[in-house]
Each structure stands twice: as C-alpha cells, then as structure tokens.
Amino acid sequence: MRRRYAVTEQEIEAKVIEIVAEQMNTDKAKITRSTSFQEDLNADSLDTVELVMEFEDEFDTSIPDEAAEKIKTVGEAIEYIKQATGAE
C-alpha cells in the first residue's frame, strides 16, 4: 500500500529507521544515520534489495539500481529519499 503525503526529513528518518529495524530484526535504538547496512547490520544482497523495495513502496519513489548500489548507510538512504521526494 503506497502512501502519498508530504514528509519532512525527520519523518523520513523515523520511517527509514523503522523499516530497517523491522527488515533486519534489530532494535531501532541501535540504528543511526551512520549505521552501515553491510558492516553494522550484516545485510547481504537480498537484504539490501528488500530494503530498497520497502523504501520505494513507503515513499512512493523509484530507486534505480545504480543509486541503490551507492547507498551504504542509513543516512545515505535518508538523503536519497529526501531528494527523491522533495522533502524539507
């Protein structure tokens, strides 16, 4: 179910952390902008694809493969989504 609403950077950050925590079965309190998907959360390529799909669905945006490959941290995901959605 896609959601369409104006979002702020803080809302994006909260939702990205929520998605990452759920997908990676990790406590939200342990996830920060500097958290690395691979190094800190031991995400494999399938985990990464699933995270990108969740971000796309949640924020009603498309993340091309080339861009997805460059997103290594939670902060990078937040920044990409912020730009893609025009958030403030």
Torsion of CA 31, 35, 41, 44, to 10 degrees: 130
Residue 55: CB atoms within 10 A of its CB come to 24
Q: Residue 44 catalytic?
A: yes
Distance CA 43, CA 24 (A): 8
Distance CA 75, CA 37 (A): 10
The residue from 44, 57, 60, 65 that is catalytic is: 44
Among all residues, which ones are annotated catalytic? Answer: 44
